[in-house]
């Protein structure tokens, strides 16, 4: 559900950037990271894990579409909503900057659609449900709610952007059902990972049975395996957003319309080290393993982890110097 710049107007894009910056600033204040620096390695490795997991598109049977893990609810369940929102923001920024996945202008929209609703609406619902039911039911319902809100937000953002090519009613009727299916799969995946990390209880955090160092090592290894190996077998079918656009207007993308769109497109192309998670000029394969995709998965996971942890390591080093 990564929006391209062509889907929104500069006014909407700038407004969503402002909203994202405000929420991120508030999250930083609430997180009080210095009071819990032991959480930083977990934030870094979970960010790397979500980056890698988002590369695995799974086919939605009978639709011709695919989906991937958003990761917002998973991060919130393991880190809390504020750390989760910041972690996912870093993941999405790295994806847009170095892999041309999601537009630079649309970055604020993507953070809100994938992060705000899951961290600050779906996660509180998850906490309420898990006290009354079980981790599987709570994860699936919360994931569905988060993705439904995010999908509808995409429709509203295109409406506010004046994208008459995407009629509100028609676009909504395609976006919501396909993301319902994706949300169910995301809920199952979220419950699976949380079950691995901790026992089912109201406060889900690493337990004695899952020591922090072992948890970080295991998640880091999984991030490398998923990004470096299993990313090559991801479905090539269009994701839920592309599928919905195609069934609404007959093509899966819109074209840039303003000078700002064109300028940001050129900037993104110049910055992208591995556009579309592959080598520039095309990749090579060894059997089913795509070398460019594998390299992208490993490098991306590493960059995300470093980007999350490095600023605080530098700050601590300066404080102690």
How many residues are there in the chain?
321
Q: How high is the pLDDT of residue 117?
A: 98
Q: What are phi and psi of 286, to 5 degrees?
A: -120, 100
Nearest-angstrom CA–CA distance, 258 and 10: 8
pTM over 0.75: yes
Sign of CA dihedral 95, 98, 100, 105: positive
Task: Look up residue 27 and give its two tokens.
Answer: 């999250």
Q: How high is the pLDDT of residue 207?
A: 39
Chain centroid, CA 10 distance in Å = 22
The helix or strand, by DSSP H or E, that contains position 59, with its residue range, turns out to be strand 58-60
Nearest-angstrom CA–CA distance, 150 and 144: 10
The b/e string for 138-149 (b: 16+ C-beta within 10 A; e otherwise) is: bbbbbbbbbbbb
Neighbours of 38 (CB within 10 A): 7
Q: How high is the pLDDT of residue 211?
A: 57
Q: What is the pLDDT along the chain (321 residues), one digit of tens a residue?
A: 899 999 999 999 999 999 999 999 999 888 875 556 667 888 999 999 999 999 999 999 999 999 999 999 999 999 999 999 999 999 999 999 999 999 999 999 999 999 999 999 999 999 999 999 999 999 999 999 999 999 999 999 999 999 999 999 999 999 999 999 999 999 999 999 988 876 533 344 443 344 577 778 888 999 999 999 999 888 989 999 999 999 999 987 888 778 999 999 999 999 998 999 988 876 678 878 889 999 999 999 999 999 998 877 777 677 666
Angle ∠(222,89,316) on CA atoms, nearest 5: 80
Q: How high is the pLDDT of residue 33?
A: 58
Nearest-angstrom CA–CA distance, 312 and 43: 12
Provide DSSP, 247-301: HHHSSS-----SHHHHHHHHHHHHH-SSGGGS-TT---EETTEEHHHHHHHHHHH
Q: How high is the pLDDT of residue 35?
A: 54
The helix or strand, by DSSP H or E, that contains position 55, with its residue range, turns out to be none
Q: How high is the pLDDT of residue 36?
A: 60
Give the chain's domains with CATH numbers: 5-320 (1.10.1760.20)
Task: Look up residue 233 and give its two tokens.
Answer: 């077998």
Taking each helix axis as running N to C, give the angle between helix 81-99 and helix 291-320, from 0 to 180 degrees, rounded to the nearest 10: 130
Neighbours of 85 (CB within 10 A): 29
């Amino acid at each position: 559900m990564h929006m391209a710049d062509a889907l929104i107007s500069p006014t909407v894009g700038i407004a969503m950037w402002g909203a994202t910056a405000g929420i991120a600033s508030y999250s930083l204040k609430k997180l009080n990271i210095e009071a819990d620096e032991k959480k930083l390695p977990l934030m870094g490795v979970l960010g790397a894990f979500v980056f890698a997991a988002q590369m695995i598109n799974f086919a939605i049977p009978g639709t011709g579409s695919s989906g991937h893990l958003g990761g917002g609810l998973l991060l919130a369940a393991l880190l809390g909503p504020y750390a989760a929102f910041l972690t996912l923001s870093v993941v999405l920024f790295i994806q847009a900057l170095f892999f041309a996945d999601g537009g630079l202008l649309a970055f604020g929209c993507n953070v809100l659609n994938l992060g705000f609703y899951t961290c600050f609406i779906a996660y509180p619902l998850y906490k309420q449900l898990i006290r009354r039911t079980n981790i599987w039911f709570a994860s699936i319902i919360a994931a569905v709610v988060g993705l439904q809100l995010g999908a509808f937000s995409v429709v509203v953002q295109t409406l506010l952007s004046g994208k008459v090519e995407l009629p509100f009613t028609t676009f909504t009727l395609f976006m919501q059902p396909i993301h319902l299916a994706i949300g169910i799969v995301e809920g199952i995946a979220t419950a699976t990972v949380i079950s691995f990390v901790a026992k089912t209880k109201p406060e889900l955090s690493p337990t004695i049975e899952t020591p922090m160092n072992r948890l970080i090592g295991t998640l880091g290894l999984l991030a490398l395996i998923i990004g470096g190996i299993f990313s090559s077998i991801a479905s090539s079918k269009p994701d839920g957003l592309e599928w919905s656009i195609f069934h609404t207007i007959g093509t899966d993308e819109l074209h840039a319309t303003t000078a700002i769109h064109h300028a940001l497109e050129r900037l993104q192309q110049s910055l992208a080290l591995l556009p579309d998670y592959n080598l520039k000029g095309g990749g090579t394969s060894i059997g089913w393993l795509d070398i460019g995709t594998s390299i992208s998965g490993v490098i991306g996971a590493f960059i995300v982890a470093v980007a999350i942890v490095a600023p605080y390591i530098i700050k601590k080093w300066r404080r102690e110097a």
